[in-house]
Amino acid sequence: MRSRINALALALSIAASMLLVACGGAAAPAAEPTAAPEAAAATEAPAATEATAAPAAEAVTIRYGLWDGNQQPAYEACAAAFTAENPSITVKVEQAGWGDYWNGVQTGMVSDTAPDVFTNHLAKYPEFASKEQLVDLKPFIDRDGVDTKQYLAGLADLWGRDGKTYGLPKDWDTIAVVYNQDMLDKAGVTVDELNNADWNAKDGGSFGQIIKKLTLDANGKNALDADFDKTTVVQYGFIPGGSGGAYGQTQWSHWAVSNGFKFNDGLYATKYYYDDPKLAETIQWYANLNLVDGVAPTLADVKSLGANALFTGGKGALTTDGSWMIGAYTKDTKFKTGFARLPKGPEGRKSMFNGLADSIWVGSKHQEESWQWLKFASSPACENIVGSYGVVFPAVQSGVDAALAAYKAKGLDVSAFTAQATEANGTFLFPVTDHASEIGPIMDALMDSIMLGEKTAVDGLKEGNDQVNALFQ
């Protein structure tokens, strides 16, 4: 089925990469980021003979937007390599944080100031496509003979609809537990315990016990102690990443799906199942970490200070986050940070699997040059460079090899993320449907109200489910 990730093929590809790195046979250098490929032509399929684009006649500057500042240096290196081979085309890499980025893209499409090429998200592109704001890449792909099978299994399929293609894959990600090694050591919790923890929505399982053991009040009592005072917590066992809104990618989706919940019936489904009791009990457990147990900070603190800042500032022992944040945690902390497996729920370990792609804005005045840059950025020539920076897992196999080698050279064990991707039935797809821009605000407000204790999960999710599904009527 085209809408389903080929988990077995993906698992075999990543497993092969891990074996190569372990044996010292990675395909890309590990110690330093790659400066530039020898020749982009060696990484692409031969161009179709029917139509070959002529080189640009005059100097053109292409604006390329992304939101992840950690990836900006890698793509600036790609841009330099691209311009070296295409002297008439300069790529200006523009970065803005998540909220500002999407505001800029959306308003820019109206005011005619959007970037020519931009990093796109599965939750965003269906609406852009429905409004005809994206260039259909299929004619370019067919003309130049770009082989979409070069990407890890299933990634390219996510960006097609009704015979059109709206993006070429650039990377993928999974979720894992991030831990403060010093806090684990002081509490007598081992990484093996974390990697083998289980979870359920009733009492949190052994993972819930670990969270309590890692939570300390002002008197040094942990949350397993009868004398624990949750009003004087100085160290939280868990730092939640906020309420998670509609999808809970890094916050609660892994627990919910491991508890038997599913968002919908697949790509472009027209019905959500937010009223599922399995989700309700999961979200109530998640909210009660603060509301009842006092082992997590308030939503207000998470919103004002940021979950990442709370963790890197030494305010908590555990959090959950995506593989794109590996570099940020290891760079921004003054203590040893590591990554552990997600706990095993009633249905096993589950992680949301997400893949990003680059798209071309239909209003670009330089669509041919934009395509040339996008084609390069999504080829092994660029993705190997990105992989060598060790910030994300690229969408092509050689890029994954380069990333694993780079992480190894930095002394980082990222197997918690790759093991999740290779585990049978260990991933589920980020929900891709219409009305994402309307679903988001509905669920943001309702999930916040649950986390604040203003509504129970059962009542709030039933209300949200009715509002969301009414959008498809």
Alpha-carbon separation of residue 94 from 62, 67, 352 (angstroms): 10, 8, 28
**Whether 226 and 140 share a structural domain:** no
Q: Does residue 31 surpass a pLDDT of 60?
A: no
Give the percent of the chain with pLDDT over 90: 85
Please indicate, yes or no, if residue 283 is contained in any of the structural domains: yes
pLDDT in tens, 154-197: 899 999 999 999 999 999 999 999 999 999 999 999 999 999 99
3-state secondary structure of 28: coil
Q: How confident is the model at residue 8 (pLDDT cuts 50, 70, 90)?
A: very low
C-alpha span between 352 and 437 (Å, rounded): 20
**Whether 447 and 331 share a structural domain:** yes
Please indicate, yes or no, if residue 419 is contained in any of the structural domains: no
C-alpha span between 97 and 92 (Å, rounded): 17
Give the pLDDT of residue 422: 86
**Whether 142 and 225 share a structural domain:** no
Give the pLDDT of residue 24: 44
Give the pLDDT of residue 466: 98
C-alpha span between 333 and 181 (Å, rounded): 11
The DSSP symbol for 41 reads G
- CATH number of the CATH domain containing 458: 3.40.190.10
**Whether 155 and 108 share a structural domain:** yes
C-alpha span between 22 and 111 (Å, rounded): 51
**Whether 185 and 234 share a structural domain:** yes
**Whether 329 and 457 share a structural domain:** yes
**Whether 31 and 138 share a structural domain:** yes
Give the pLDDT of residue 3: 41
Q: Does residue 27 surpass a pLDDT of 60?
A: no
Please indicate, yes or no, if residue 406 is contained in any of the structural domains: yes
Q: Does residue 39 surpass a pLDDT of 80?
A: no
C-alpha span between 289 and 115 (Å, rounded): 42
Please indicate, yes or no, if residue 434 is contained in any of the structural domains: yes
pLDDT in tens, 414-471: 999 999 998 999 999 999 999 999 999 999 999 999 999 999 999 999 999 999 999 9
Estimate the crossing angle of helix 72-85 against helix 380-388, to 10 degrees.
140
The token pair at 267 is: 């790509």
State the sign of the Cα–Cα–Cα–Cα dihedral 383, 387, 393, 396: positive
**Whether 234 and 349 share a structural domain:** yes
State the sign of the Cα–Cα–Cα–Cα dihedral 200, 206, 209, 214: negative
* Average confidence (pLDDT) over 92-103: 97
Q: How confident is the model at residue 58 (pLDDT cuts 50, 70, 90)?
A: confident
Give the pLDDT of residue 154: 84
Please indicate, yes or no, if residue 6 is contained in any of the structural domains: no
**Residue range(s) defining the domain that contains residue 359:** 27-173+355-412
Q: How confident is the model at residue 33 (pLDDT cuts 50, 70, 90)?
A: low
C-alpha span between 228 and 221 (Å, rounded): 5
Please indicate, yes or no, if residue 241 is contained in any of the structural domains: yes
C-alpha span between 15 and 211 (Å, rounded): 31
Give the pLDDT of residue 17: 56
**Whether 75 and 223 share a structural domain:** no
Please write down the HEC assignment for all residues of 381-434. Answer: HHHHHHHHCCCCEECEHHHHHHHHHHHHHCCCCCHHHHHHHHCCCCEEECCCCC
C-alpha span between 393 and 386 (Å, rounded): 8
The total of structural domains in the chain comes to 2
Full-model pTM: 0.87
pLDDT in tens, 186-239: 999 999 999 999 999 999 999 999 999 999 999 999 999 999 999 999 999 999
